[in-house]
Amino acid sequence: MNSVPTLDPPSRLVDAVDLARSAAVEEAAADIGHEAAADAVGEHLDARAEDANAVTHYFAARQGGYRGWRWSVTLAAAGDDEPVTVSETVLVPGEDALVAPVWVPWSERVRPGDLGVGDLLPPAEDDDRLVPGYVRSDDPAVEEVALEIGLGRTRVLSRFGRESAARRWHDGDRGPAADMARAAPAHCGTCGFFLPLAGSLRAAYGACGNEFSPADGAVVEVGFGCGAHSDVRPDPVSPVAVAELVYDDGVDLEPAGPR
């Protein structure tokens, strides 16, 4: 039950299991009361040396909600003739303990589609997707308005911001690899409902203006497509398969008699 490391602490620290258990029970009583505290501290699991004058004892945690956790009680003695004292008592998770997931900052937890009515999501001050409006963005459409005195936008998309958006749209549900695009009779780039974006993205992206298309109002790549393309024509052929020769077997035919 006890494993004594090579640090070789005094045996009285290793053997002071009862003292360690009492400290754990006292700590548990502060949260769940004295009556339940004794049952909350389970069997002795291990004793590990911290240094030549300190040992940590581990006990199973039996209170609800702490499956796999352990009570950790560190005992120490300043010298051979000094008394054994309790240095620290704390609950620690074991290998199969139920623990909270690793905390992630809210800015990294937000995903597309999370923003609801009334929610605010300000960009970071150092957002790489944006640059000040007075910085040349190498996008002609942006340059036309970025330097308007008193009227220009304070920040505009950087090259990185535009490339990130283009890559996201290309790989998304409105890109050329989508199932609907592969089954479409033609692409958005040749569709009359295609409204090209301005600026450097004009050649590859636009918005769909067909109210009957599943992409209506969304940004689509020129390689995307759907069955509502402007050049789709109705098939003049009957949808019902008809044989070239029709035999009417509902008429009784009798041989002609003598005249």
Average pLDDT per consecutive 10 residues, the chain (259 residues; last block may be shorter): 58 92 92 85 92 92 88 91 92 86 81 74 79 67 57 77 93 92 92 90 93 92 92 70 64 64
User: What pLDDT is attached to residue 132?
Assistant: 77
User: What pLDDT is attached to residue 4?
Assistant: 45
pTM of the complete model: 0.48
User: What pLDDT is attached to residue 251?
Assistant: 60
Contacts of 213 (CB under 8 A, 6+ apart): 193, 226, 228
